[in-house]
Each structure stands twice: as structure tokens, then as C-alpha cells.
Amino acid sequence: MALNIAVFKTRALSALIFVAVMLTGLLWNFWSFFILFSVIHFGCWIEYQKIICRIDPGYKQITKFHKYGVMIAGWCIMLFFTSERYKIGSVSLHEIGYWIGLLFMIVLPLLEIILVRNINLKNIGYSFLGLLYISLSWGLLTYIRSNFFGGFVDVGKILVIIIIASIWINDTMAYIVGSLIGKTPLTKISPKKTWEGTVGGIILSIVVMGLTGYFYNADVDWQSVSQWGIVAAIASIAGTFGDILESKLKRMANIKDSGEILPGHGGFLDRFDSLLFATPFVWLYMVLFVM
């Protein structure tokens, strides 16, 4: 597979814009992060529902209340995972997410019965999978961003940057390595991916992030070369599976891109598929073995 310079430039420019927007949301303050990922959350849901409708036309029959109610219920998961520093007056977003989410868990099924007079378990299953795939992942990323601290260092901010940077480096390096020396297809789902590019991208991501951790001067125990490398490895490997999963969904829906947000990268799900899948695994590692 020859390296397409024009495609690479488009993808690289879009990736740089993506990084700039993400860093602005991360580095400005907690609220900028939450607002940014709230927008991303709803964007992912809109594309997810369109994909499911193409895979199974029966999903088009869901009511407007179901369609938008499940998005809001998912957003409540993000609210629930915020820290106590997210407050509106004296009320925390965590409390708001808990009570509104609980309300939706009760009201959504009842209204489904009243409005449709029938509960379609398959459609409920599609929506539930969306909650796990999209809302839970962004909720856990919100948790990482707002709840992890180490001394005076905002570990959550640094950790999210590591995850995103690892995925971006892996994606870029896998494309370059695969274009130059890739010969063995990784999977029929993504025919352009090769084993050489995949392994090369993961290794280079670990090396770059490990070196970054080595030169980063912060007196926090987890911020060692090994920890940066482990997080990079988890994010890169899980992110690759996330990309393949989204490719499978698009193939089932018979579409090329989930949307048209970023040139060369498609829609929200195209751009954030790796991060969606990587976040729960990084969160689990940090909770069980580090924090």
C-alpha cells in the first residue's frame, strides 16, 4: 500500500485540529472539558442511532421520547461521574445526574408502554448498548478528568492527555508504517489495516509516551516511565479494537463514514471510536492498580 501524500496531509491537518480542540477543552478548566464532551456525547449518539437504523430499520419505529430520552439518560451518566467541584449553586452535577437518571429509568419504560403499548426488547437492547458504548465511556473519561489527583498535580488532566496522545500517535504511526512496509492484512473488517502497521503503531506509541514520561518532571508516584508506557499500551491496543468495532458497524450499515465532521476522519464516531473503547480499560487499570 503506497503512501498517499494528499490523504496523509488531510488526515494530519484534521488530527492537529482535533488535538487543538481537545487540549483547549482539557487545559482551560473543568467546565470546558465537560461542555466539549457533552457536545461529543450527543454527536456520537446521533450518529449511532442513524447507523442502527440502517442496520435494523425496525429501530426507526422508536418514539421521539425514546430517541432523545435515551440521549439525555446517557448524559446523566456523565453528570453522575463528575466530581463535587462541578456545582450549580449548592447542587452538584453528580446529584443532578443521579436523580434525573433515576427518574428516566422509571419514566422511559412507562412512557414506552403508554405511547407504543408494546415494548420492543430489541430496540431497547440497541439503546442499552449505546449507553454502554457511548455514555458510560464518556462518563468514565469525565471521572478520570475530574477525580484523579496526586499531591498538587492534576493527574486527571495529564492522564486524559496521555490517552488521547497515545491514540493519536498510534493511529498516525500505524498509517505511516502500514503504508511503507505493511503487507499482512490485520482483518477483513478493515482491509487497509496491516499487522505491520498495527504493531509498529503500538510500539512507537509506547516508546514516545514512555520517553515523554521520562522527561516530564513531576513528583507523583504513578508518573514513571513504566506507567506512561502501560497507559499508552492499553490505550493503543484497546483503541485499535475500538476502531475495528466501529468499522464493523459501518460495514453492517453499508456506509463509509459515520458523519462528516472532520475531513479525512468522518464523523464523531469515526474520530472518537478508539477513545470510546480505550477509556474503560484505562479507567479500570487506574482504579485497580494505581490510584
Residue 94 burial (CB count, 10 A): 18
Q: Which residues contact 123 (CB under 8 A, 6 or more apart)?
A: 58, 59, 61, 62, 66
- The tens digit of pLDDT for each residue in 194-228 reads 899 999 999 999 999 988 888 775 544 555 678 89
- How many Cα neighbours within 13 Å face the side chain of 232? 27
Euclidean distance between CA atoms 43 and 66, whole angstroms: 17
Query: Which domain covers residue 180, as residue numbers?
Result: 5-290
Round to whole Å and give the CA distance between 187 and 195: 9
**Residue ranges in the chain whose pLDDT is less than 50:** 1, 152, 219-220
User: What digits encode the pLDDT tens for the residues 41-77?
Assistant: 999 999 999 999 999 999 998 988 899 999 999 999 9
Packing angle, helices 121-130 and 64-80, rounded to 10? 30
Residue 70 burial by CB count (10 A; 0-12/13-18/19+): exposed, middle or buried? buried
Overall number of domains in the chain: 1
* pLDDT score for 265: 63
Residue 46 CB neighbours (<10 A): 18
- R_g over Cα of the chain: 20
Query: Tell me, what's the pLDDT at 107?
Result: 83
- Looking at residue 139, the DSSP 8-state letter turns out to be H
Q: Position 141: which residue type?
A: L
pLDDT value at residue 59? 95
63 DSSP 8-state letter: -
Mapped onto helix, strand or coil, the DSSP state of residue 93 is: helix
